[in-house]
Amino acid sequence: MKPAGLIPSLQSDALAREIEQQLKEETAAVIATAGRDAGEVLAQARTAARARMHDSIAELRREGERRLSRARAQQETEIRAQMQRRAARAVEEAMPLLSEALAERWREVESRRQWTDGVAKLCLARLQRSTWTIAHPADWPAEEQRRFAQSVGADGLEVAFEAAKELDAGLKVTAGEAVLDATAHGLLADPQGVAALLLEMLGDGDA
């Protein structure tokens, strides 16, 4: 081959090598850039993943606390309901016993006297001194009736005694439209009030 023919060939080879070198450099630059970008993407992904994991763990903890609070509240509600049921049963069982205890107190002379003396004091404190009608059990002794009349005094006061077959314990005093019911039935006429007293007594006993 003549030297003049080699010149285009050499120029072509040089151009090819130059192009190849440029391609290598550009490829290396692209790869390097891609590597940096991939690293940044991975770092961002890891950061986002950690943040999501942290949020998920925090939410799980909050949900656990909410469930625990609900469970505690439900348990406390169940305990209160159970205590109320037990208290209701205790009151229900105690009422007949209390009624019998009042009847027994009326049958005993000394406790009956304390009962009627207490009624006399309440009447003097709460009722107008006019005409009092005292309803009483049929077997209340006349001597105790006279003692009751003397205890309330006769000045400006008329006292009338009436035996009532339906009464077996206590006295019911009527003064005009006012009524002081100190019979066993009257003392137990407010079941909620009696229940509150019984529960207070039971609570004191448990303390």
CATH number, position 119 = 3.30.2320
Inside any domain, residue 73: yes
Inside any domain, residue 32: yes
Does the pTM surpass 0.85? The reply is: no
Whether residues 112 and 197 share a domain: the answer is yes
Whether residues 125 and 70 share a domain: the answer is no
Inside any domain, residue 93: no
Query: pLDDT per residue over 17-35, tens digit each?
Result: 777 777 777 777 767 676 6
Provide the number of structural domains found in the chain.
2
Inside any domain, residue 21: yes
Residue 132: CA atoms inside 13 Å, Cβ hemisphere, count?
28
Burial of 176 (0-12, 13-18, 19+ CB in 10 A): exposed
Q: Quick one: average pLDDT of 110-128?
A: 90
Whether residues 58 and 2 share a domain: the answer is yes
Whether residues 66 and 145 share a domain: the answer is no
Inside any domain, residue 34: yes
Inside any domain, residue 147: yes
Query: pLDDT per residue over 69-85, tens digit each?
Result: 887 888 888 888 787 77
Split at pLDDT 50, 70, 90, the class of 206 is very low
Give the domain extent around 11. 1-81
pLDDT at 141 exceeding the cut of 90: yes
